[in-house]
Structure 1
């Protein structure tokens, strides 16, 4: 393993994070809801921008929320809170938030119609939604290259283990219809063409990719020799994407914005 900084989602999405931050345009007095906040990087950024307002981060992962609280406490942020909650069903205060944001945290709703309706109820009448989601799988080199190395050939968007599809919000007409039905209007899509960072070197990137469900589940199904061959193919793929500043893969995402109707 590399001795460099361990790869995590914040590191992976460092370029995307800047794009989202600019797109949100958070004002000092706004109250911000961060959906699928993970360990709270985007929530902390929102709290710093909304100095006279507040930021609430929610996530389904209890360990992530606990870590987020620790990081916010270390930064002495007083206008921030975190809740271990499901944004689909959580009883947010109605008409409270000025802005709902999400960095790849809205693609896994079991019931997206109910989820976005619940988020809409939490927003004020003039409230905004700004979320980042992946474009179609075939437009994302990171998943195409990994699946090719693992010789995954099924045509579905979901991982081999049957997880919900990380590309479920890739289609603009379908997402527009979904959001309009939930009470949003003025839905727009902005192309985001930025690379994802997988680590300082091949060893770090391989460790990160091992945590992906499609990788771990595929390797579990293989016998030892086949798994070794798959890992060798992964190493070759990572070597082809290694630069002086680490391992990077091309990706495409959408910034989706909408206003409450």
Structure 2
């Protein structure tokens, strides 16, 4: 299972600061993964609660185990698609998401569904990626594995669907949100303790699997050697790091 918490650790504090969870908040965490953001929200809301939802069953199960081990009682998790899940209306005072809202098939309908779960005036605070050509990690990995081949579009699987800030603001407005604020956030992301560890971790990503799909054994080995060399060039001695850019988007449910 890919370690998104390690990858996005530098963004974690930015989301926490922007979310500013209050003592009695009822927090909805969209695309919670293994629950790091949800657990932190629950800790910040001892008189409230936090619910994390994600479409990945294994991640939700791990989130539950980690929360039980940590002894956090006001947190819960559901395997659910936030686009269509029947959340109780107006039951949350805050919505958060750390790179979990970019994969909706119909973003306006999805944000409208999330909005119905929030109380009027509640904030939705999310981090999303900027465009792929502004991501050192995406360009480097794609170039290394392609090796000069023409690869089909769409291998990002929607990761950059909210990269256009004007379009993203329009989607939220159409979904019933107002006071949309979009701020650039830039920081490094981490793929492993060294180049070899980063390569092994990246093999769990669907994008990487798709880039080597269809190659024979020899071509796959060459592609992975190129990837290892690219990762080695980004090994700082304290891990393999890549530059990245995101949008911090804050909007209020009307």
TM-score if structure 2 supplies the norm length? 0.96
Query: 2:87 aligned with 1:89, yes or no?
Result: no
The residue correspondences of 1:136-215 to structure 2 (distance < 5 A) are 136-151=131-146, 153-154=150-151, 156=153, 158-159=154-155, 164-215=157-208
Q: Is the 8 A contact 1:38 1:64 kept in 2?
A: yes
2:71 to 76, 84, 87: 76
Q: Is the 8 A contact 1:7 1:199 kept in 2?
A: no
Which residue does 2:28 correspond to in 1? 33
Q: CA deviation at 1:7?
A: 6.3
Which residue does 1:123 correspond to in 2? 118
Q: Is the 8 A contact 2:93 2:119 kept in 1?
A: yes
Give the distance between the partners of 1:217 and 1:176, measured in 2 at CA.
31
- Report the RMSD for the aligned CA atoms in angstroms: 1.4
Give the distance between the partners of 1:77 and 1:232, measured in 2 at CA.
43
Q: CA deviation at 1:35?
A: 0.3
Q: Is the 8 A contact 1:35 1:87 kept in 2?
A: yes
Give the distance between the partners of 1:135 and 1:185, measured in 2 at CA.
21
Q: Which runs of 5+ in 2 are unaligned?
A: none
Which residue does 2:97 correspond to in 1? 102
Q: Is the 8 A contact 2:134 2:244 kept in 1?
A: yes
Query: 2:2 aligned with 1:20, yes or no?
Result: no
Which residue does 2:252 correspond to in 1? 259
Q: Is the 8 A contact 1:7 1:204 kept in 2?
A: no
Which residue does 1:50 correspond to in 2? 45
Give secondary structure in 1 for the equivalent of 2:46: coil
Give secondary structure in 1 for the equivalent of 2:248: strand
Q: CA deviation at 1:76?
A: 1.1
Give secondary structure in 1 for the equivalent of 2:144: helix
Number of residue pairs the alignment of both structures matches: 252
Q: Which runs of 5+ in 1 are unaligned?
A: 1-5
Give the distance between the partners of 2:152 and 2:140, measured in 1 at CA.
14
Give the distance between the partners of 2:152 and 2:223, measured in 1 at CA.
19
Give the distance between the partners of 1:228 and 1:66, measured in 2 at CA.
34
Q: CA deviation at 1:84?
A: 1.0
Q: Is the 8 A contact 2:144 2:227 kept in 1?
A: yes
Task: Identify the range of structure 1 (177-186 vs 144-153) with the bigger mean alpha-carbon deviation.
Answer: 144-153
Deviations 1:48-91, CA, capped at 9 Å, x for gaps:
00111110000111111111111111111111111111111111
Q: Is the 8 A contact 1:140 1:250 kept in 2?
A: yes
Q: Is the 8 A contact 2:2 2:205 kept in 1?
A: no
